[in-house]
Amino acid sequence: MTFHSRKLLLSAAILFGLTTIASAEEVKLRYLASQGGLAAHELAEKLGYFKGTGVSFENVGYAQGGPASLFALASGDVEIGSAATSAVLNSIAGGNDFVAAYPSNGINEQVQSVFYVLEDSPIKSIKDIAGKTIAVNTLGAHLDYTIREALHSQGLPVDAAKPVVVPGPQLEQVLRSNQVDIAAFGYWQTTFEGLAKTHGGIRPVFDDTDVLGDIAGGFVVLRRDFIKAHPEAAKTFVEQSQRALDYAREHPEETKAIFAKALEERGENPELAKYFLGYGVRPGGKAVDRDLQFWIDVLTREGKVEQGQLLTEKILYSPETATASN
């Protein structure tokens, strides 16, 4: 091969490489963070999993509960939403074309949402919560529906208790000052729960696994039109976030260190990270049909959706089916 031919081939190779790099799609996903929490994609970004993929992120504030996150997603203010499964399904039933990308958190023997009372409270069991005020992070989401299912399991009216909205950082305070009878620390609020337990004087009454069993607590959600417009970016986002969920399970102490640094960077208390118990999801960050079907059945029973209105196979993300409308 002549020098001239080699030069032409080298030039062509460089040009091809530059063209490939230039054609890589740059996609920025905006999201709302959770106080005292670290989403899987945030962990993945800290671990460098998105480096060179063209996918980047922008934190545009804090979500005051899952429904607020879904509202921001529906309005186009963010590209990533996250909420309890019941809230996600209600939103889809209301007309939003969302896809459940992967479980954000789950409940199992390691991670639960726990309902606490003061040590001297007369409340001893689920039956005793009827008529009582219960602090929850938001209405219409996981804790709210867990209360309803708990009451239903005892043959009581599902609206017999009185949930009131209290931000996570204030749960301990409102319980100790007797502003509420019960404080519910969600599975995503184990950091606040851990701190409250160190102060003593509180005890658990029940947790959500007593009512729901092992199940995904919530989902990270994308708009279907976003997935259609950016299929590769969506696939990368899901796969690398699921990879981070596995990392957290396999490297809990390293994850806590990353968590603490992230909280400090956001101006939050980094000490909370040591109480992080994990995400509680299955290996691979995978969902199973029951994660959705359980809540579809509940919403159908309560008359919130019609029989057959919501189908798990049309809601759960997969690269092959995510672009087909509900």
AA letter at 137: N
Quote the CATH superfamily of domain 26-107+215-315.
Answer: Periplasmic binding protein-like II (3.40.190.10)
Could you give the angle at the alpha carbon of 254 between the alpha carbons of 69 and 241, nearest 5°? 40
Rg of the chain in Å (alpha carbons):
22
| Residue 9 confidence (pLDDT) above 50 | no
Q: Rounded distance, CA 167 to CA 180, Å?
A: 13
Q: Is the pLDDT of residue 263 over 90?
A: yes
User: Over the stretch 178-199, which tens digit does the pLDDT of each residue have?
Assistant: 999 999 999 888 889 999 999 9
pLDDT at 21: 38
Band the pLDDT of 322: cuts 50, 70, 90: low
Which pair of structure tokens corresponds to residue 189?
């609020």
Task: Name the pLDDT band for 13 (thresholds 50, 70, 90).
Answer: very low
pLDDT score for 87: 92
Lowest mean pLDDT among 61-70, 148-157, 207-216, 220-229: 61-70
> What CA–CA distances, in Å, run from 76 to 71, 81, 201, 314, 323?
9, 10, 44, 21, 18
Q: What is the pLDDT of residue 325?
A: 58
For the chain, the structural domain boundaries read 26-107+215-315, 114-212
Contacts of residue 229, defined as CB under 8 A and 6 or more positions apart, other chains included, come to none
Q: How much is the pTM? A: 0.82
CA distance linking residue 71 with residue 60, whole number of Å: 14
- Eight-class DSSP state of 161: S
The residue that leads in pLDDT, 53 or 5, is 53
For residue 299, what pLDDT band results from cuts at 50, 70 and 90? very high
Cα-flanking dihedrals φ and ψ of residue 111, to 5°?
-130, 125
Give the chain's mean pLDDT: 90
CB 41 within 8 A of CB 237: yes
CA distances from 78 to 1, 30, 54, 104 (A): 55, 5, 18, 17
306: left (phi over 0), alpha (psi -120 to 50) or beta: beta
Same fold, 26-107+215-315 and 114-212: yes
**Correct CATH for 114-212 of 3.10.105.10, 3.40.920.10, 2.60.120.560, 3.40.190.10:** 3.40.190.10
CA nearest neighbour of 71 among 91, 56, 57: 91
CB 181 within 8 A of CB 211: no
> pLDDT band at 12, cuts 50/70/90?
very low
Q: Is the pLDDT of residue 67 over 50?
A: yes
